[in-house]
């Protein structure tokens, strides 16, 4: 067969659709002829072993054609077969859409030029190959298709991909039989989703999802070259980068790993590097669920995209689990309140599905606002604070946020607090409130203080309003202890307060070693004497290789902290037996 016969094949092949009569087999089934072509039987087995699906679109009696294919031992290799006395153009267009594929990745084989033209009209990007003469010896068979670079596929001799499409078939058949709407059908499907964060042994699947998905690849940032792959590996070790693979199952079967996300959270906002999903779960709400789970980050969507992220607005039919087939873990339903740097969002993400996070952000002028501030936790919640100039303009947070934090501490199952920044900062100030000097406290991050001071009017007003507190270590520890006590006093008796210590490792740690040790002692002693309080020893929980510096860790490092919290939360002692729990390593 000349190469011209396959000149339309220009893209990676994911599906080959066969006509039957005079294409897959020799003769016409309805006229008593259906002689198998051995090369074609072997060809579809090779295609499926490569992870390339095969289907049928044939004008024939369904029962008779199915029986013949069963007799030949290949019926179970075909997915979404269409065997009816109906036009092929609309049928194939529907088939490809239901499988979640693009016509550009599909090959159609038929010996009838009218059928080829009809399918080409409905699917202009599909490669429609003339198979005339391929079964009677007047032309070469179709196995030359296997030699095309676009038909390399991927080793799938376990037929995992085939089974995933069979799952889609079963779902479609049952949905049609029930007559339910798509959302009602999804609600009864028992969809479970697992987020896989251990990526080192799964980078091939990460690369595959990034490079091979199109219709639900929202960023389309490919990683083809070794340099691009190395850049992705390095990105995954950057503090603040959060990434995971998405695995899905329901009562119809296992869809496998169907998605990958990689985002970076900073106080200035969230950057979405990768957000890609397989079309195997198209219209199941998986990508919308993940987007909501990540906090609905703004994505610069690279079109075309099969579905947006805004609809459905709520996905209430997916359950997140730690392991399939097991009841949802406590961590998946737990509510979490977090106070700390924005990098700690990675910790809270793994600790509960409902999260309230008071972490670094930018104000309207693009200047950092921090909430790990003693004043944010300790200041009296006076109504006058709503108009307080220092709180509103200097601190950057509001009375409403302070009240929201109190409410979160009172309602959450798990509270995570990291106060080392507030302890080590030299920029602690007092200011007046309700005529009382030093009534309120505020910690101003160095970058924020520098930015505010560039405006002479604000600088002068700060000089008049603020009193710089140069306190010894013990006094600063007293303030941190008071902040922890207030949070602890707000929590429910059955809730857990996790207090993060600081590391004694690394260069920056060496410059404040004694202060770091003192801070850890205070936190550990506090937890030992307060029921439901657990001290997280960073140097015990996070391995050395997962440190970026003394105060920042890789994605795996933050995950280790979350694991320690999840391991400790279910093991709290009775209320009358307070003690410090050691985190799991």
Q: What is the CA radius of gyration of the chain?
A: 31
| Assigned domain for 170 exists | yes
User: Which DSSP helix (H) or strand (E) runs through 460?
Assistant: helix 456-465
Per-residue pLDDT in tens (0 to 9) along the chain, 585 residues? 445 778 889 999 999 999 999 999 999 998 877 899 999 999 999 999 999 999 999 999 999 999 999 999 999 999 999 999 999 999 999 999 999 899 999 999 999 999 999 999 999 999 999 998 877 766 667 899 999 999 999 999 999 999 989 988 988 888 888 888 888 889 988 999 999 988 999 999 999 999 988 889 999 999 999 999 999 999 998 888 899 999 999 888 888 899 999 999 887 788 999 999 988 888 899 999 999 999 899 999 998 888 889 888 889 999 998 887 655 555 557 889 999 987 787 788 778 778 888 988 888 787 888 899 999 999 999 888 888 888 888 888 889 999 999 999 999 999 999 999 999 999 999 988 777 888 889 999 888 899 889 999 989 999 988 999 999 999 999 999 999 999 999 999 999 999 999 999 866 666 789 999 999 999 999 999 999 999 999 999 999 888 888 888 888 888 889 889 988 876 544 444 434 444 333
Domain-located, residue 543? yes
The reply to whether 484 and 545 lie within a common domain is: yes
Distance CA 385, CA 439 (A): 11
- Asked if the structure places residue 430 within a domain, the reply is no
* Predicted local distance difference test score (pLDDT) of residue 392: 82
User: Cβ atoms within 10 A of the Cβ of 267, count?
Assistant: 20
Q: How large is the angle between the packed helices 446-453 and 456-465, nearest 10 degrees? A: 120
Q: Which of 278, 298, 320 is the last residue of a domain?
A: 320
As to burial, measured by CB atoms within 10 angstroms (0-12 exposed, 13-18 middle, 19+ buried), residue 481 is middle
How many whole angstroms separate alpha carbon 134 and alpha carbon 131?
Answer: 6
End residue of a domain, out of 296, 320, 344: 320
Residues 197, 120, single domain; the answer is no
All residues at 6 or more sequence positions from 332 whose CB lies less than 8 Å from its CB, including other chains: 319, 320, 321, 322, 352, 353
Question: What is the arrangement of strands in the sheet containing 269-277, beginning at the earlier edge strand?
Answer: 269-277, 253-266, 241-250, 191-196, 318-320
Is 457 within the bounds of a domain?
no
Cβ atoms of 311 and 183 closer than 8 Å: no
Taking a C-beta distance cutoff of 8 angstroms, is the pair 392, 398 a contact?
Answer: yes
Judge if 307 and 341 occupy the same domain: no
What pairing do the DSSP bridges indicate for beta strands 106-110 and 127-130?
parallel
Reported as type and span, the H/E element at residue 286 is helix 286-293
Asked if 541 and 583 touch (Cβ cutoff 8 Å), the reply is yes
Strands (E), 206-252: 241-250
DSSP secondary structure, 78-132, as one string: B-S-EESSS-HHHHHHHHHHHTT--GGGEEEEES-HHHHHHHHHH-TTSEEEE-T
Residue 553 three-state SS: strand
Based on the domain organization, do 149 and 176 belong to the same domain? no
Give every CB contact of residue 154 below 8 A, 6+ residues apart in sequence.
50, 51, 208
List the one residue out of 534, 517, 536 whose CA is nearest residue 526: 534
Q: Does residue 413 share a domain with residue 311?
A: no
Residues 220 and 357 both lie in one domain:
no
The CATH number linked to 373 is 3.40.50
Q: How many structural domains does the chain have?
A: 3
Q: Give yes or no: residues 121 and 177 share one domain.
A: no
d(CA 58, CA 67): 14
pLDDT score of 577: 40
Domain boundary among 320, 355, 389: 320
151 and 174, same domain (yes or no): no
Q: Does residue 456 fall inside a structural domain?
A: no
Number of C-beta neighbours around residue 579 at 10 A: 14
Are 83 and 217 in the same domain? no
Q: Going edge to edge, which strands form the sheet with 106-110? A: 82-83, 53-58, 15-18, 106-110, 127-130
Residue 412: inside a domain: yes
Cβ atoms 343, 241 nearer than 8 A = no
How do strand 253-266 and strand 241-250 relate by DSSP bridges?
antiparallel
* pLDDT, position 138: 66
Residue 434 within a domain? no
Same structural domain, 388 and 529: yes
Q: What is the pLDDT of residue 280?
A: 82
Show the tokens assigned to 390: 């220092």
Q: What is the residue range of 116's domain?
A: 3-157
**152 domain-assigned:** yes
Among the listed residues 437, 503, 443, the one whose alpha carbon sits nearest the alpha carbon of residue 465: 437
Give the 3-state secondary structure of residue 118: helix
Residues 35 and 147 in one domain: yes
Mapping DSSP to helix (H, G, I), strand (E, B) and coil, where does residue 424 land? helix
- With CA atoms as reference, report the closest residue to 427 among 388, 470, 384: 470
Distance CA 416, CA 347 (A): 9
Residues 91 and 108 grouped into a single domain: yes
In CATH, what number is assigned to the domain containing residue 215? 3.40.630
């Amino acid at each position: 067969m000349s190469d011209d016969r396959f000149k339309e094949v220009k893209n990676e092949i994911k599906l080959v659709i066969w006509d039957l009569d005079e294409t897959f087999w020799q003769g016409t089934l309805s006229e008593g002829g259906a002689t198998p072509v051995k090369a074609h039987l072997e060809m579809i087995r090779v295609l499926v072993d490569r992870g390339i699906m095969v289907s049928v679109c044939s004008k024939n009696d369904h029962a008779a054609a199915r029986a013949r294919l069963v007799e030949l031992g290949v019926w179970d290799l075909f997915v979404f077969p269409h065997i009816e006395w109906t036009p092929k153009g609309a049928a194939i267009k529907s088939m490809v859409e239901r499988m979640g594929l693009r016509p550009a990745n599909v090959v159609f084989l038929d010996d009838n030029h009218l059928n080829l033209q009809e399918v080409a009209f409905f699917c202009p990007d599909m490669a429609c190959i003339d198979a005339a003469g391929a079964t009677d010896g007047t032309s070469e068979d179709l196995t030359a298709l296997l030699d095309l670079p676009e038909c390399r596929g991927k080793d799938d001799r376990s037929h995992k991909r085939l089974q995933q499409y069979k799952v889609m078939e079963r779902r479609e058949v049952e949905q049609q039989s029930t007559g339910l709407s798509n959302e009602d059908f999804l609600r009864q499907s028992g969809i479970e989703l697992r987020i896989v964060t251990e990526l080192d042994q799964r980078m091939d699947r990460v690369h595959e999802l990034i490079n091979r998905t199109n219709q639900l690849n929202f960023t389309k940032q490919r990683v083809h070259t070794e340099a691009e792959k190395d850049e992705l590996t390095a990105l995954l070790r950057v503090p603040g980068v959060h990434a995971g693979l998405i695995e899905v199952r329901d009562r119809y079967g296992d869809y496998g790993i169907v998605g990958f996300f990689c985002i970076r959270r900073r106080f200035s906002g969230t950057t979405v590097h990768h957000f890609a999903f397989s079309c195997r779960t198209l219209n199941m709400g998986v990508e919308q669920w993940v987007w909501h789970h990540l906090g609905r980050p703004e994505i610069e969507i690279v079109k075309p995209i099969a579905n947006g992220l805004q609809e459905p607005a709520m996905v209430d039919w997916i359950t997140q689990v730690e392991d399939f087939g097991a009841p949802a873990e406590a961590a998946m339903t737990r509510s979490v309140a977090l106070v700390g740097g924005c990098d700690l969002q990675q910790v809270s993400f793994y600790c509960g599905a409902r999260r309230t996070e008071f972490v670094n952000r930018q104000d309207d002028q693009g200047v950092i606002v921090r909430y790990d501030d003693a004043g944010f936790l300790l200041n009296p919640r006076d109504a006058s604070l709503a108009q307080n100039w220092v709180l509103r303009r200097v601190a950057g947070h509001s009375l409403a946020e302070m009240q929201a934090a109190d409410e979160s501490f009172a309602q959450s199952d798990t509270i995570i607090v990291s106060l080392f920044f507030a302890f080590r900062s030299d920029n602690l100030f007092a200011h007046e409130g309700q005529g009382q000097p030093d009534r309120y406290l505020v910690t101003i991050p160095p970058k924020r203080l520098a930015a505010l001071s560039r405006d002479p009017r604000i600088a002068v007003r700060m000089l008049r309003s603020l009193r710089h507190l140069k306190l010894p270590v013990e006094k600063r520890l007293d303030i941190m202890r008071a902040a922890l006590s207030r949070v602890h006093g707000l929590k429910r008796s059955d809730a857990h307060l996790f207090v993060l210590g600081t590391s004694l490792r690394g260069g920056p740690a060496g410059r404040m070693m004694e202060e770091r040790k003192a801070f850890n002692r205070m936190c550990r002693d506090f937890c030992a004497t307060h029921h439901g309080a657990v001290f997280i020893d960073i140097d015990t929980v996070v391995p050395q290789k997962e440190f970026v510096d003394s105060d920042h860790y890789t994605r795996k490092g933050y995950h280790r902290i979350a694991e320690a919290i999840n391991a400790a939360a279910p093991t709290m002692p009775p209320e009358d037996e307070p003690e410090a729990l050691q985190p799991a390593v």
